[in-house]
Amino acid sequence: MRFNPTFLLALILFVAACAASPAAAQTPQNATVSGTITNSLSGDPAPNVTVAIESPTFSQTVKTGPDGKYTFANVPPGTYHLSVRGDGYLASRVDLTVNGPLQTSDLRLNPELHYSEVTSVSPDSRNQFDAYQATNVLGGQELTKELQGTLGATLQNEPGIAMRSFGPGPARPVIRGLDGDRVLVLEDGMRMGDLSSQSGDHGVNVNPASATRIEVVRGPATLLYGANAIGGLVNVVTSEIPTAPVLKPSGSLTFDAGSAAKEGGAAGDVTVGTGHFALHFAGSGRRAGDFDTPNGEIPNSFSRAGLAEVGASYVADKGYLGASFAYDRSHYGIPFVEAGETNLDPRRKIFNLRGERRNMGGLFESVRASLGVRQYRHDELDGEEIATAFRNDTSEFEVLASHKRVSRMKGSIGASFLTRTFETAGEESLSPAVDQKGAAVFLYEEVALSPHVDFQFGGRFDNQRFTPAEIEPDRDFNNFSGSLGLLVHPSDATSLAFSFARASRNPALEELYFHGPHAGNNAVENGDPNLQSEHALGFDASFRWRGGRSSGEITVFTNKIDNFIFRELTGNVDELPVTFFTQSNATLTGVESHIDVQLTKLVAFEGGVDYVRGQLTDLDKPVTRMPPLRGRAGLRFQKNAFQAGLDGAFTAKQDRIFTVESGGETVGETPTAGYNLLKLFASYSLAAGGAVHTFTARLDNATNELYHNHLNYLKDLAPELGRDFKVVYSVRF
């Protein structure tokens, strides 16, 4: 038989094809994963929801469109976590095995009826269960159950949070015993620009009823937000700039009324758009009279507030660019000061510009930037006469770039810049005019060590400069902060979080330059321009669990602060106690806990305890104005979207106080007796006409308990609010 090269070539190709076929069949092919996210209560699509598919070696994040649909392309075969989170919904996570070219996974999200599990105060949003630090989030029914006229009063029952006040108008949150310049209050991730950190009689210019949710980070958050967050931060989240396509109107409306202060308030917003272009309008108002106590009405404790806001944005497939402008004004009285006629009228003009670009090629997958300008004014009046006028103008710019995953590591780098002009004029002008400039760079990284262990690290360098207009010296501070975190999931139902932070805080303007009598802090203050920066070493450990019968969190923490700045009593009294800003090493140690136990199918127990102990170690004295030990216990009946129950708050006496002896008399803090409070509540949500309506009724201080708040500057002159019946109605469409 003759040799035929053509036949041989054909035979070789045939054998090669046969040999290659099985291998080709076994070659993994990347898949397309898609699905639809819907509201489990109404069945409507859930737009602008964040969907993430993650494994130790691969991750993608997308947002659902107006129809609730999402798509991931080029997903390698394997096992993944599919996580879904969005405003107004409980976070959800399922395991997904990808093994085909086309895969569908539809999910139904439960509306945020009891707990919110989303926090947006890190470069990427994280489920609370998976956070490296302890957090609080109030939203949905939980927000209406706690809603009050001020931010401090709304948050005061949350674990680790207390309320500083000077009457009801200027209430402000205290986190783990730290207050003032050590707790940063944000609105949509940007500084308020007010003076609430400076003085006890200065309030936070925000109406909690206008918030979509309120987030708190307990413990140092200096890595992303700088020195003013050494004790923690509060972020009030609204929707003033649309960030996703809008095809039909959406918005919310909230009304509330209370009996004890004859108060009422309303807040609303609406967003309309044509797809790429969107407009947002918002407004709020509140009015409260003098409040009632078991001992009678407290004169000059009224408050008023109003806000108007407009925002606009252009939204594309890979990002958005938007701006907003707002004006707010409040007016409130300060009881008992200056013959009971002192009142303040803070007002702000607010301009924001924000943008984001996503799904970029190259090293960075997304970049976002924000610019905020605040013009703040307030007058302190004796009756109708201006006694002191304040001006505080700030501008801040921040840029954050998130890089592509490098092996098992993902993270962000960023920079921020701040300018501030502060001036006062009048009888309580305690400081010369001061210009402040700041700049910072920071790095935040996360490493997936295994499917059940994540590691976080980062660092921040800050520069702050103070330039007074008069004879006081200029000051220039350079500080470094860093953090390490470890998150371990022993099982899907448990997590262990450890956080170690080295945080630094430069002295605040008032600590450097204030001199003179300051009724707003019940003291004659003497600043020291030679103060040094505080340096803190903090450690947190949290254990969290969630299951069919119980869920909860227990956190222990310690924070050792070198060069801790505080007002030291001299023992002299010149109408007000005379103090000097000085420094000592301090240690704050405490515990925070919350637990839910399902007693029956419909009845659950809620409880918790929180305590912080502060000690000035160099002086062997307590840190001033520490909140007392507090416990909470309650029962909740819940069926679908209805819940009702009772909450008991049990507060111990506070007799660990800072005092000095002078001339045979004791000067300083006074002890505060313990007390017990009872609250009754009921709340119901229903879907109708394409909207979700929530009705809430509460009876706060149901037993009309006579009690005093240790952190109220007026606690020795007046008790707190008496029995208060409150109703709240909100609708979201």
For the segment 342-354, what is each residue's pLDDT rounded down to a tens digit?
999 999 999 999 9
Q: Greater confidence, 542 or 338?
A: 542
The percentage of the chain sitting over the pLDDT mark of 90, rounded to a whole number, equals: 67
Half-sphere exposure of 137 (CA within 13 A, CB side): 27
Per-residue pLDDT, 42: 63
Q: What does each C-alpha distance from 643 to 83, 138, 141, 635, 683 come to in angstroms?
A: 27, 16, 9, 10, 5
The sign one gets for the Cα dihedral 186, 188, 190, 192 is negative
For residue 432 the two structure tokens come to: 């010369």
Number of CB atoms found within 10 A of residue 2's CB: 4
User: 66: number of CA atoms within 13 Å, CB side?
Assistant: 15
Residue 1 has pLDDT above 50, yes or no: no
Token couple for 631: 């416990």
Given this model, what pLDDT does residue 513 score?
96
Task: Give the model's confidence band at 87: pLDDT under 50 very low, under 70 low, under 90 confident, else very high.
Answer: low
The lowest-confidence range among 28-37, 406-415, 643-652 is: 28-37
- The continuous run of DSSP H or E covering 227 comes out as none
Q: Are 692 and 42 in contact (CB under 8 A)?
A: yes
Pairing of strands 347-358, 303-316: unpaired
Alpha helical stretches, state H, 310-384: none
pLDDT of 281 above 60: yes
Q: Is the pLDDT of residue 114 over 50?
A: no
Q: What is the predicted pLDDT for the residue at 108?
A: 86
- Whether the per-residue pLDDT at 547 is higher than 90: the answer is no
**CA-CA-CA-CA torsion sign (190, 194, 198, 199):** negative
pLDDT at 211 over 50: yes
- Contact residues for 165 (Cβ-Cβ < 8 A; gap 6+): 152, 153, 171, 172, 200, 709, 711, 712, 713, 714
**What amino acid occupies position 501?**
A
* Structure tokens, 194: 């007010």
Q: Are strands 102-104 and 31-39 parallel, antiparallel or unpaired?
A: parallel
| Phi, then psi, of 503 in degrees rounded to 5 | -120, 145
Confidence of residue 10 (pLDDT cuts 50, 70, 90): very low
User: What would the mean pLDDT of 102-119 be, rounded to a whole number?
Assistant: 68
- Residue scoring higher pLDDT (63 or 93): 63
3-state helix, strand, coil in the chain (%, to 5): 10, 60, 30
3-class SS at 316? strand
CB-CB contact of 722 with 261 (8 Å): no
- Would you state the pLDDT for residue 119? 55
- Residue pair 378/347 in contact by the 8 Å Cβ criterion: yes
Quick one: pLDDT band at residue 16, thresholds 50, 70, 90? very low
d(CA 133, CA 487): 10
Q: What is the pLDDT of residue 120?
A: 56
Q: Which of 29-38, 84-93, 182-191, 408-417 has the lowest mean pLDDT?
A: 84-93
User: Whose structure tokens read 């009971």?
Assistant: 340
How far apart (Å, rounded) are the C-alpha atoms in residues 471 and 712? Answer: 35
Say which residues have a Cβ less than 8 Å from residue 722's Cβ, sequence separation at least 6.
Answer: 260, 291, 292, 293, 294, 701, 704, 706
User: Using CA atoms, how far apart are residues 150 and 303, in angstroms rounded to an integer?
Assistant: 10
d(Cα 424, Cα 491) in Å, to the nearest integer?
57
164 forms beta bridges with 172
Q: Which two tokens stand for residue 380?
A: 């302190």
Task: Return the structure tokens found at 436.
Answer: 């402040």
Supply the mean pLDDT for the chain. Answer: 89
- Is the pLDDT confidence value at 158 over 70? yes
pTM of the model: 0.85
Q: What is the pLDDT of residue 496?
A: 96
pLDDT digits (tens, 9 = 90+) for 518-531: 888 888 999 999 99
> Across residues 483-492, what is the average pLDDT?
92
* 435-466: pLDDT as tens digits: 999 999 999 999 999 989 999 999 999 999 99
> For residues 148 and 208, is the Cβ–Cβ distance under 8 A?
yes
How would residue 118 be classed by pLDDT, with cut points 50, 70 and 90? low
**What DSSP line would sit under 609-630, residue for residue?**
EEEEEEEETTTTEEPSSPPPPE
Range 503-507 average pLDDT? 96
Residue 12 pLDDT > 60: no
**What are the residues facing 731 on neighbouring strands?**
253, 693
The answer to whether 609 touches 630, Cβ cutoff 8 Å, is yes
- Confidence check: pLDDT of 290 > 50: yes
pLDDT at 152 over 50: yes
Which structural domains are found in the chain, ordered by start?
31-109 (2.60.40.1120), 118-732 (2.40.170.20)
Say whether pLDDT at 148 is over 70: yes
Element holding 115 (H helix, E strand): none
pLDDT of 714 above 60: yes
Contact between 606 and 599 (Cβ < 8 Å): no
